Structure 1
């Protein structure tokens, strides 16, 4: 999440300063309009700048871009790995958390899952801190992986604007 490379762009697009509690909503909405969710469109080492320039990405890329833009305008931000009922097919999901009005608030610029149904797996500065799987030099073959998270009844409505925290 190379916020240092996005300082001028972010300030011109969103303003600067943590005194504006709506900046995170504006950034999330902007990313949702400008970046297209395309599975397989990025690599694990792509950063926020590549996502901004390509205009495509997956949840990790959306979250990295949001974290970078928020940090560039002076808002503390981090990435959270979550289980997300509502994502089809069910998979790990990444969202952004921003420190707004004294609390960490969840933002999902992909709009793929209601934030109130998210279940935290890990939190970190970027995706390297919250890796689901890591390999330190050996051969790994993943034969099967299955993740399921369920909500009884219909999924809750999310307007993606109301402040929400991951419990």
Structure 2
């Protein structure tokens, strides 16, 4: 599937005049970047490798307080969107080094607090069937409520409130899957069915020797999602980080099928 991505960001950075961005489509398994453009105005840009070697970060140094950035790409998604059920999980001794960090608790995903719950609720499942059961439970138990969480909201808060946005759904899936001793990481993606249109967050789980996207919001499918960055949780893959406060001016994210 071919996806067209068009992003426009405008923020005011009165202090520091420096931003770290994660907005470019990653050159990673399951997707091919056919073309892309990055427009930084008068700012200077330098690229560094993203978390876990997936994607790139942009070091942006501004020549004025106003950051105006444009990004566009055409990406061919070749990822299989098949069912998780039937995919085996791996025992600890059989996991590769790249998967091991995503078994552990993290800033927003305190997975160690959910081991008893996962054992009781999902103990009859294994492997991909367990992940699918967790995905479906999160989808059924939670309500998607814009502005119901903030940058401080953890999975413990979300579990109690039973509401959130895509970051909270992804954190919940990651925490419960890790509590089941299956590696799970947080991924930021572009997808055409996200409402309202924006950067989107999903989980990615290690089954049958590779990573598989899991979206309990139902807004994206693996065969129509472009990975931007991955990490332990939202702390690792924010689309923009600054040393000082950034004031929102304008933002647009459009993803369409071609």
Structure 1 length-normalised TM: 0.85
Gaps of 5+ in 2: 1-108
Conservation of the 8 A alpha-carbon contact between 1:16 and 1:74:
no
Q: 1:10 aligns with which of 105, 118, 137?
A: 118
Distance 1:89 1:38 in 2: 12
2:250 aligned residue? 144
Gaps of 5+ in 1: 153-167
- Structure 1 window deviating more from structure 2 (5-14 vs 55-64): it is 5-14
1:86 aligned residue? 193
Shift of 1:63: 0.4
Q: Structure 1 stretches (4+) deviating beyond 4 angstroms? A: none
- Compared CA separation, residues 16 and 49, structure 1 to 2 (3 A): farther
Distance 2:221 2:127 in 1: 24
Matches within 5 A, 1:8-157: 8-15=116-123, 20-136=127-243, 138-152=244-258
Distance 1:26 1:132 in 2: 30
User: Which protein has greater RCO, CA pairs closer than 8 Å, 6+ apart?
Assistant: 2
Distance 2:185 2:124 in 1: 18
1:164 aligned residue? none
Shift of 1:123: 0.4
- Structure 1 window deviating more from structure 2 (43-52 vs 53-62): it is 43-52
Structure 2 length-normalised TM: 0.56
What is the CA deviation profile of residues 97-127 of structure 1, one whole-angstrom value per residue up to 9, with x for unaligned ones? Answer: 0101111011100001233110111100100
More strand by share: 2
Number of residue pairs matched? 150
Point out the structure with max Rg over C-alpha.
2
